[in-house]
Structure formats: structure tokens, C-alpha cells
């Protein structure tokens, strides 16, 4: 059964909505979070892994099931590019409705997958070095590089 509950973990005091969460690297290292690499968000800003610090560029609006993954308080969404394939680096881009590169699904086993495309948000080679760009990769069961928590 798929739940449509929105999870809340870390909330900034008053500047962001109550649905802003950090997304942590799951079972591999709970002190690392998904973050836009540059604080000045613009189309094409890479998305990577960083030490969690609750800065605005690592606050995301996401819910279980079909979802956009949006930088809280902005018009930027997690984007997999126009030609999704293994190894494509993730970035933020202006949010658009019905854009397959921004249509995600938060699975019951805590993977963030491109809806109906078979690709998941992935830490390349398990590299948790701060600043390493995240990628999409074929969704694979029991792959800790693809597990995320809030």
C-alpha cells in the first residue's frame, strides 16, 4: 500500500514552510544530505552530497509516492535532464508540471525514482565526499547508494 503522507524531519525556524525537509543519504551515512551545490540557485545548478547543515539549499519539499522534489521556498526542482540514462548528473531547474525529468516517485523502500523510467537518485560509487555530484542510475534493489531518509 502506498502512503501519501508527507514526512517532516528538519524544519528551519520561520523562513520556510513546515514541509521543508533535509534528505539524508540513507543507510550509508546519516550526516550527509542532498544539496544544491551552489547557494545561488539557477537553471543547471548541480545537486550533490554535503554534510548536513540545514542551509536553505538542502531543504526540499518531497512526499511519499508521486512527487516533485522542490527546493523549499523556490521555483527550482530536482531535474534529471532531457535524456535520462546511467550516470547523468542531477541538477536543479525551474519547476514545470508534467515534465518527465522532474516527475519523481518516493518508494516504500526509500528510493527516489524517476516515475516509470527505472532510474533512481544515486551516489556515484558510494562517494560521500562533500560536493560530489549525484546522478541517476538504474534502480537496483539493496543498493545503499540509492537509499534516502528524512
| Assigned domain for 31 exists | yes
For 4-52, write each residue's pLDDT tens digit. Answer: 332 222 322 223 343 667 788 875 457 899 999 988 899 999 999 999 8
For residue 107, give the CATH number of its domain: 2.80.10.50
Number of domains in the chain: 1
Radius of gyration of the chain (CA): 14
Q: What is the pLDDT of residue 75?
A: 95
Is 74 within 8 Å of 57 (Cβ atoms)? Answer: no
Look at residue 12 and tell me if it is in a domain: no
Domain range enclosing 108: 20-149
Residue at 39 is within a domain: yes
- Confirm whether pTM is higher than 0.75: yes
Q: Does residue 8 lie in a domain region?
A: no
- Looking at residue 2, what is its pLDDT? 36
Query: Is 33 within the bounds of a domain?
Result: yes
Torsion of CA 6, 10, 56, 53, to 10 degrees: -140
Rounded CA separation 41/93 (Å): 9
Is there a domain that residue 95 lies in?
yes
Tallying the residues shown for the chain, one arrives at 150
Q: Is residue 73 part of a domain?
A: yes
Mean pLDDT to the nearest integer, 43-70: 91
Amino acid at each position: 500500500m502506498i502512503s501519501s503522507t508527507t514526512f517532516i524531519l528538519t524544519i528551519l525556524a520561520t523562513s520556510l514552510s513546515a514541509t521543508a525537509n533535509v534528505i539524508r543519504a540513507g543507510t550509508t551515512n546519516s550526516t550527509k544530505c542532498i544539496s544544491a551545490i551552489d547557494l545561488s540557485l539557477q537553471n543547471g545548478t548541480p545537486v550533490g552530497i554535503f554534510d548536513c547543515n540545514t542551509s536553505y539549499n538542502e531543504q526540499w519539499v518531497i512526499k511519499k509516492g508521486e512527487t516533485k522534489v522542490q527546493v523549499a521556498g523556490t521555483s527550482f526542482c530536482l531535474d534529471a535532464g532531457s535524456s535520462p540514462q546511467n550516470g547523468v548528473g542531477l541538477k536543479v531547474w525551474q519547476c514545470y508540471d508534467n515534465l518527465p525529468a522532474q516527475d519523481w516517485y518516493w518508494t516504500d523502500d526509500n528510493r527516489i525514482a524517476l516515475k516509470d523510467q527505472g532510474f533512481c537518485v544515486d551516489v556515484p560509487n558510494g562517494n560521500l565526499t562533500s560536493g560530489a555530484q549525484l546522478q541517476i542510475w538504474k534502480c537496483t534493489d539493496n543498493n545503499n547508494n540509492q537509499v534516502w531518509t528524512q
